[in-house]
Amino acid sequence: MTDEAAIMEVIAAEAKAFWDKDFDALAACHVQEEYTRRMGWWERGGITDRHGWSEIGTIMRDHFARDPVPNPSAAAVRRENVNIRVMGDMAWVTFDQHSIDAGEPLMDMPGVSHETRILERHGGRWLIACVGYLLEPGP
């Protein structure tokens, strides 16, 4: 498998785990260090700026516990304008993600979001170290 294919596989697995509300599967897609970041903006939630896996993981685990019912249809996103740059054991990826309104206002980001991922290779496996997103405002 090429690096590019492996990277996109991790990105898809992370989205699926998020909507399946499967914390262990989500965690397996991420670098679990204090330099891990999650940042972005969406109309319903405003600015997100999370620093370190201890904060990100705790928030995700609590969020999934509050609403544990999986919503697998929501992971059926379309990714366009994918750009992948691999340099040794690091890579960065940008893409436009088209998502549906899956009926979960606290999680939904329907429409187009401009996404960035920074990944690192650990033990031969690509893991997400940084997530960035900017959701286009709705009509």
Which helix (H) or strand (E) is 30 found in, with range? none
- Tell me which residue has tokens 């319903």: 44
Rg of the chain's alpha carbons, rounded to an integer?
14
What's the predicted TM-score (pTM) here? 0.93
Residue 102: Cβ-neighbour burial (10 angstroms; 0-12, 13-18, 19+):
middle
**Topology of domain 3-135, CATH:** Nuclear Transport Factor 2; Chain: A, (3.10.450)
Tokens of 16: 């699926």
pLDDT of residue 102: 77
Query: What span, in angstroms and rounded, lies between the C-alpha atoms of 100 and 30?
Result: 24
**What is the tens place of the pLDDT at every residue in 104-125?**
777 777 889 999 999 999 999 9
Q: What's the CA angle centered on 111, arms 110 and 115, to 5 degrees?
A: 100
Tens digit of pLDDT for each residue in 70-82?
A: 987 766 789 999 9
Amino acid in position 112: V
